[in-house]
């Protein structure tokens, strides 16, 4: 029997002790995963059957929206116990997920210490360094001895996360450096902290974007990044698991923007968020791009007589448009990704654009030649000359395939150029380069492609 | 003066001590970033000017391909010193980046201990758990006391990473549990390890994909994940910074596949990899999709008489095609991302498809209605009746805008359905769902959209 099934069975049969037994035998992360697969009614029973210790453990592995629901289903005294047992950044996430009128009630349930921490964290936007941080760290003073330091830390030794980050601070809570637990373990008790600390002061300001925090942690290979206020006082730290979460959020955001999906991902996940919320995130761009795409239609209307005379041009039209879209979004993706990995900045505009122009020219010229020659061979071999004459309007086949080849070359070069240039221009205007990702670029190069194609055809065929 | 500029200046003027001073004042990660911005000749001089201690520090912050180049430029005795100073997973990455004929020479330069570790790691594919792991961990036996444990660990206390992961193993190196350094620090020297260890045995087999390792670390919130062989013996660990790297690689891969970019990302980065290597990664899909797009052209050719009679249909053609592409890739991106976050599996096919169908129908029907009504109002207001007659072929405008509205509704529903269904089908066939991401889906729904549009038009207008 699979785990969620056995849990469902225990809940259905009201077998409290069996459910407790199953959950005790599971890793809390697995119990949390099982919990999320239950329906609302089952979740409430699940919470009633388990004691607060088990619930606290499971809650810390749940997505914030799920744990908010879980806590909401509990009685007030159980709520207090569980909220108090959670790390303060988890409590903050959970409170942020709660309805606004409930938020105050939750904060009131917390002990004074936790309340202070939660209020500080709630004061920063969710996606800033301050909104991400936790206050689970330890501080020591420079003039302590190893013995005094160990005594200070002993009080908090059970708080799993704290001892991995021990900062040495001055009387104003400004960071002077770090001490590692091993330095305390392997040094004589009389050694002054001053002698064994390092002097690394890397930190990030609370109001900075979470993405900046991630970049610092990646660059300097940090396990934890201190967060400071504008007086340089230590406020909290961002941990390695926050870094993973930030990275996941940011890459989901990039992927979604590249697919014309707007707004923030629902914390509830794909299956649980309602159709309407999916609809809202997709409709904005789809409607906007559809209206812009009518421009392409107007270009076609403008060249009506050309198309009606030489109908074969219509056959190549989707290919020229689609290829421009593909090469444009390739260039945009490459450039956006490289910028977000910090490989270059818009100051290297010309180097990047020059590289993309060469790539675009190579792709366009080769594809153009292949399509032109391939078409010529296939058409002269398989198409009956009368049929051909009716769709070429009597124009020379060679002129037509050369038109297609040249249009492809120019369209691919132009769209590669635009795909690279627009995100860099957005970045220099302090916009997220991903806003001009694939969908916007595809729509622009669609219109452009038709103008290029029909423009060249008019010249080549002298119509 | 910016940092890379001052470094370049020191190199140009051959000022060895100034370069050393600059590098000493920088965080090694910043020095490494400056190094990557130098040209090849400058890099060689940079390496010559610095002593081995400084170089080792900087090397550990360089991308593998850059550090391979740096090491290749050194004399053999310096190579030995630096290779020996690096963590074994960094050495392995670096050797993997070296030309094959050089790899053996490098392994020979290592001490016996490092050589063994490197050979084990090189035996696994680069993107498997085994290829990612490091051997920087410590082991203890269950029957040791805290005092014996501290004595055992004292030898390795300077190896920065080891003390964060202390595993308790049996005589066959099978994991029995973990001990934290804090448990050793805060317990009496006589306490047996058995009493303070936990019994967590979560581990991953060496041949598993690195993505599985990341998923485990995310789910169980682990700082390090043990890697075992098929006899359950501990081989190494995957660390939190590996987890970040794996996540970055995987999300870059997803983004690139969504933009029709094939193959592996160049380790050298965007600017340094040659035009030819960019060309190769982009040409495959672009050429393939261009040829498939000719199918759309053939559909247009097939409806030649319809289009020539009712030219206004051509005006809406790009919009119907592009909107299908956009909604199809939205659905694909949502589904692929949700699957890669483990939110559902293909077993929930019908639930997902049902959700997407409703979203698609809502998007399509609303957009269809808007475009139909909007067109009718704009055309009757602004277009001269004679012009209109020439492009509608005498058909009733209401019939035409209703055709467009219905075609949009069906096209958007169908492409949303296809966008969701194809990646799930790929996943159930054990393929990476991202292979059927946006570009493939766009191309399919392009052809489909034209068939739907012209099919409906033929029926509605009875042509």
In a shared domain, residues A50 and A182: no
Indicate if the pLDDT at residue B161 is higher than 80.
no
Q: Looking at the predicted structure, is the pLDDT value of residue B1 above 60?
A: no
Q: What is the pLDDT of residues A102-147, one digit of tens each?
A: 788 888 888 888 888 888 888 898 889 998 998 888 899 999 999 9
Residue B159 has pLDDT above 70, yes or no: no
Q: Please give the Cα distance from A179 to B184 (Å, whole number).
A: 17
Q: Select the more confidently predicted residue: B157 or B456.
A: B456
What is the average pLDDT across B404-431? 93
Helices (H), B197-274: 210-219, 240-258
Q: Following DSSP, what letter does each residue of B65-114 receive, concatenated?
A: HHHHHHHHTS-HHHHHHHHHHS-HHHHHHHHHHS-HHHHHHHHHHS-HHH
More confident residue, A158 or B362: B362
Category of B430 on φ-ψ map: left (φ > 0), alpha (ψ -120 to 50) or beta? left
- Is residue B218 a contact partner of residue A244, using CB atoms and an 8 Å limit? yes
The average pLDDT across B80-86 equals: 85
Domain boundary among A126, A160, A191: A126
Distance from CA of A355 to the nearest CA of B (A): 7
Q: Which domain holds residue B89?
A: 3-123
Q: Is residue B65 part of a domain?
A: yes
B446 beta partners? none
Q: Do A290 and B323 touch (CB under 8 A)?
A: yes
Q: Which of A153-162, A270-279, B45-54, B372-381 has the lowest mean pLDDT?
A: A153-162
| Chain A residues whose beta carbon lies within 8 Å of the beta carbon of residue B182 | 157, 163, 181
Cα–Cα distance measured from residue A29 to residue A26, given in angstroms and rounded to the nearest whole number? 8
Residue A132 maps to a domain? no
Residues A296 and A192 in one domain: no
Considering only CB atoms, which chain A residues are within 8 Å of B243?
240, 244
Output the pLDDT for position B88: 79
Q: Has residue B438 got a pLDDT over 80?
A: no
- According to the model, what pLDDT value does residue B366 have? 96
Q: Residue A128's beta-bridge partner residues?
A: A209
Residues of A in contact with B341 (CB under 8 A): 248, 252, 269
Nearest C-alpha in A relative to B329: A259
CATH of the domain at B47: 1.25.60.10
Q: Which residues of B touch A282 (CB under 8 A)?
A: 327, 330, 359, 363
Stretch B153-168: mean pLDDT: 75
A362 with B296: Cβ contact below 8 A:
no
Same domain, B316 and B353: yes
On chain A, the residues whose CB falls within 8 A of the CB of B358 are 275
pLDDT of amino acid A44? 87
DSSP state of A408: H
A65 lies in some domain: yes
Q: Which residues of B touch A279 (CB under 8 A)?
A: 359, 362-363
Q: Say if residue B177's pLDDT is above 90.
A: yes
Q: How far is B280 from chain A (nearest CA, A)?
A: 9
| Same structural domain, A158 and A106 | no
Mutation site, A166, A276, A330, interface B, largest B CB count within 10 A: A330
Domain boundary among B241, B266, B286: B241
Burial class (CB in 10 A: 0-12, 13-18, 19+), B2: exposed
Closest residue on chain A to B220 (Cα): A29
Residue A227 carries which DSSP code?
E
* CATH code for the domain in which residue B173 is found: 3.10.580.10
User: What's the confidence (pLDDT) of residue A184?
Assistant: 86
| pLDDT of the residue at A435 | 73
Query: Which residues of chain B are within 8 Å of residue A287 when distances are taken between CB atoms?
Result: 367, 370
Element (H, E) at B432: none
Average pLDDT of the residues of chain B: 88
Model confidence band, residue B160 (pLDDT cutoffs 50, 70, 90) = low
Q: Which of B251, B290, B329 sits opposite A319 (nearest CB)?
A: B290
- State whether the Cα torsion B271-B272-B273-B274 is positive or negative: positive
Please report how many Cα atoms fall inside a 13 Å half-sphere around the Cα of residue A30, on the Cβ side.
12
The answer on A81 and A23 residing in a single domain is yes
**Alpha helix ranges (H) inside A259-383:** 275-302, 304-309, 312-340, 349-382
Confidence at residue B401, expressed as pLDDT on a 0 to 100 scale: 95
Round to whole Å and give the CA distance between B336 and B351.
Answer: 15
Segment B160-185 shows an average pLDDT of: 86
Number of domains in chain B: 3
Query: Pick from B261, B286, B338: which is nearest to A333 by CB?
Result: B261
pLDDT recorded at residue A40: 83
Q: CA B19, CA A54: separation in Å to the nearest integer? A: 58
Q: Collect all residues of chain B within an 8 Å Cβ-Cβ radius of residue A217.
A: 244
Q: Are A327 and B286 in contact (CB under 8 A)?
A: yes
Q: Does residue A93 lie in a domain region?
A: yes
3-class SS letters over B259-297: CCCCCCCCCCCCCCCCHHHHHHHHHHHHHHHHHHHHHHH
Residue A368: count of CB within 10 angstroms of its CB: 25
Single residue among B123, B155, B186 that ends a domain in this structure: B123
Residue A263 lies in a domain: no
User: How does pLDDT run across A31-62, given as a tens digit for each residue?
Assistant: 988 888 888 888 888 888 888 888 888 888 88
Q: Are residues B430 and B316 in the same domain?
A: yes
**For residue B358, what pLDDT is reported?**
96
CA-CA distance, A441 to A34, in Å (whole number)? 42
- Is residue A54 a contact partner of residue A23, using CB atoms and an 8 Å limit? yes
Nearest CA distance, A330 vs chain B (angstrom): 5
Under an 8 A CB cutoff, do B271 and A221 touch? no
The yes-or-no verdict on residue B364 having pLDDT over 90 is yes
Q: Note whether residue B365 is domain-resident.
A: yes
Do residues A399 and A331 both lie within one domain?
Answer: yes
Shortest distance, CA A420 to any CA of chain B (angstroms) = 12
Looking at residue A98, what is its pLDDT? Answer: 80
The confidence band for B345, taking pLDDT boundaries of 50, 70 and 90, is confident
Are B337 and A184 an interchain contact pair (Cβ–Cβ within 8 Å)?
no
For the sheet with A224-228, list strands across it.
A204-205, A224-228, A234-239
Average pLDDT score over residue span B38-49:
86
Q: In terms of domains, do B191 and B55 share one?
A: no
Cβ(A149)–Cβ(A126) below 8 Å: no
Instruction: Give residue A187's pLDDT.
Output: 87
pLDDT at residue number A177: 94
pLDDT > 70 fraction of chain B, expressed in percent and rounded? 98
Burial zone of B398 (CB within 10 Å; 0-12 exposed, 13-18 middle, 19+ buried): exposed
Give how far B14 is from chain A: nearest CA, Å.
Answer: 27
| Rounded average pLDDT over B228-254 | 90
- Distance separating alpha carbons of residues B269 and B436, to the nearest angstrom: 26
Q: With CB atoms and an 8 Å threshold, state whether A247 touches B244.
A: yes
User: Which pLDDT score is estimated for B3?
Assistant: 72
CB contact (8 A) between residue A286 and residue B338: no
**Cβ distance of B61 and A221 shorter than 8 Å:** yes
Same domain, A102 and A173: no
CATH number of the domain where residue B448 is located: 1.10.357.20
Q: Is the pLDDT of residue B157 over 70?
A: no
**What ipTM was reported for this prediction?**
0.84
With beta carbons under 8 A apart, name residues in chain B contacting A318.
293-294, 296-297, 300, 321, 446, 450
Give the pairing type, strands A204-205 and A224-228.
Answer: parallel
How far is the alpha carbon of B325 from chain A, nearest alpha carbon, in Å? 10
Percent of chain B with pLDDT over 90: 42
Residues B281 and B165 in one domain: no
Residue B250 located in a structural domain? no
pLDDT in tens, chain A (463 residues): 567 788 888 888 888 888 888 888 888 898 988 888 888 888 888 888 888 888 888 888 888 878 888 888 888 888 888 888 888 888 888 888 787 777 888 888 888 888 888 888 888 988 899 989 988 888 999 999 999 998 888 877 666 567 778 999 999 999 999 998 888 888 888 999 999 999 989 999 999 999 999 999 988 988 899 999 999 999 999 998 889 989 988 888 888 888 888 887 777 778 888 899 999 999 989 999 999 899 999 999 999 999 989 999 999 999 999 999 999 999 999 998 888 877 888 888 899 999 999 999 999 999 999 999 999 999 999 988 888 888 898 899 999 999 999 999 999 999 999 999 999 998 888 888 877 777 788 888 999 999 999 999 999 988 7
Asked if B107 and B158 sit in the same domain, the reply is no
Same domain, B325 and B408: yes
In a domain, A72, yes or no: yes
Contact flag A367-B286 (C-beta cutoff 8 Å): yes
Tokens of A39: 């329906």
pLDDT confidence of residue A158: 61
Angle in degrees, 0-180, between the axes of helices A312-340 and B312-340, rounded to the nearest 10? 30
B271, B321, B359 ranked by CB distance to A282: nearest: B359
């Amino acid at each position: 029997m699979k785990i969620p099934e056995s849990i469902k069975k225990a809940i259905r049969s009201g077998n409290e002790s069996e459910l407790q037994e199953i959950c005790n035998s599971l890793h809390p992360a697995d119990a949390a995963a099982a919990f999320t697969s239950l329906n609302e009614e089952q979740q409430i029973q699940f919470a009633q059957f388990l004691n607060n210790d088990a619930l606290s453990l499971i809650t810390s592995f749940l997505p914030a929206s799920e744990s908010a629901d879980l806590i909401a289903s509990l009685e007030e005294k159980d709520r207090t116990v569980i909220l108090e047992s959670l790390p303060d950044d988890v409590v903050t996430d959970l409170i942020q997920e709660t309805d606004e009128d409930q938020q105050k009630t939750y904060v009131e349930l917390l002990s004074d210490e936790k309340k202070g921490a939660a209020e500080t964290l709630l004061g920063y936007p969710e996606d800033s360094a301050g909104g991400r941080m936790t206050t689970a760290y330890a501080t020591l003073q420079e003039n302590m001895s190893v013995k005094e330091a160990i005594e200070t830390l002993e009080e908090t030794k059970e708080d799993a996360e704290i001892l991995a980050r021990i900062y040495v601070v001055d009387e104003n809570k400004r960071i002077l450096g770090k001490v590692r637990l091993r330095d305390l373990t392997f040094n004589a008790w009389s050694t002054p902290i001053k002698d064994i600390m390092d002097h690394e002061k890397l930190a990030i300001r609370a109001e900075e974007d979470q993405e900046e925090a991630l970049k610092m942690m990646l660059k300097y290979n940090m396990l934890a990044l201190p967060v400071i206020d504008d007086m340089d006082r230590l406020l909290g730290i961002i941990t390695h698991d926050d870094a993973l979460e930030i990275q996941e959020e940011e890459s989901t955001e990039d992927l979604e923007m590249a697919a014309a999906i707007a707004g923030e991902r629902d914390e509830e996940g794909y299956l649980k968020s309602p159709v309407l919320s999916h609809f809202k995130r997709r409709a904005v761009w789809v409607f906007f791009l559809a209206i812009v795409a009518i421009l392409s239609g107007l270009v076609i209307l403008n060249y009506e007589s050309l198309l009606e005379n030489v109908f074969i041009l219509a056959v190549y039209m989707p290919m020229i448009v689609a290829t421009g879209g593909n090469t444009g979004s390739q260039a945009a993706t490459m450039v956006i990704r490289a910028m977000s990995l910090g490989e270059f900045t818009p100051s290297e505009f010309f180097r990047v654009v020059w590289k993309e122009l060469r790539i675009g020219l190579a792709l366009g010229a080769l594809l153009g030649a292949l399509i032109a020659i391939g078409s010529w061979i296939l058409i002269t071999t398989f198409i009956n000359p009368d049929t051909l004459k009716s769709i070429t309007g009597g124009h020379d086949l060679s002129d037509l395939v050369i038109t297609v080849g040249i249009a492809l070359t120019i369209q691919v070069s132009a769209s590669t150029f635009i795909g690279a240039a627009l995100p860099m221009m957005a970045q220099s205007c302090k916009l997220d380069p991903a806003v001009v990702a694939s969908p916007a670029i595809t729509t622009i190069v669609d219109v452009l492609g038709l103008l290029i194609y029909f423009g060249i055809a008019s010249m080549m065929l002298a119509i």
